[in-house]
Amino acid sequence: MLRSMSSIKSLTRLALPAAIALGLGACAPTAFKADVSRFAVPLPAPQGQTFAVLAEDPRLAGGLEFATYANAVAAELTQLGYSRAASPESADMLVRFDYRVDGGRERVRTDFAGGGAGFGAGFGAGRWGPWGPWGGWGGGPFGAWGMGFNDPFLGGPNVRSFTIYTSAVDLKIDRRADGQRLFEGKAEAVSRSNRLPALVPNLVDALFTDFPGNSGETLRITIRDDEKTVRPAE
């Protein structure tokens, strides 16, 4: 009995690094993906031209939420070399901005894991383990990492249902003097969140990646905490 307990402790110590690694993997930076389409005429090099950010939807004008997102747009333009005007009447360019998220739609996903039912990573106690051939903490012959009753005859597809949302931002830049359209851009993303305060800054970030981009091109832009990638959209 003492020898069995010693074996279990030894195997538990061996399994801990793997479990820790799995836990760290779950904390890896998450990615935000957006499809970005842009159309533009040849823009003059930024030399301090002034701009004002306006709400495309008049119902949003003057709201604190819109002001927060307008500041994010203004920060991107300022970083490019433009300057924010004191008022729309004194601006060289008028930047019209809009944002939205839909009501969501249900998606069903079926995972064919195989090897019996399990509930994540467990601490294996050998091929057969002290609980017999059916597992316990993943010790059965049919599932080394499944916690629970790993009977292959009871295992089956794991069906999950969840809601996904489509969010988007639109940006238009006009020259105020003659109303000429200089730029049109749109960033759209599908995610499991409908929280605009989290979505809009990422969409703005994607829209201004490699700004103004190639006119007529649509790109898939991935934003992570540690990197940003750009590739043609699928």
What integer pLDDT is reported at residue 10 of this predicted model?
A: 44
What integer pLDDT is reported at residue 232 of this predicted model?
A: 73
Structure tokens at 145: 């990492």
- Whether 6 shows a pLDDT value over 60: the answer reads no
Domain 32-107+161-232 carries which CATH code?
3.30.160.670
Give this prediction's pTM.
0.66
- Kindly report, residue by residue over 66-124, the tens digit of the pLDDT: 999 999 999 999 999 999 999 999 999 999 999 999 998 887 777 665 544 444 444 44
Structure tokens at 165: 């949302």
Beta strand segments in the chain, E: 32-40, 50-55, 83-84, 93-101, 105-111, 135-137, 147-149, 158-175, 181-191, 217-223, 228-232
| Residue 190 contacts residue 164 (beta carbons within 8 Å) | yes
Parts of the chain belonging to CATH 3.30.160.670: 32-107+161-232
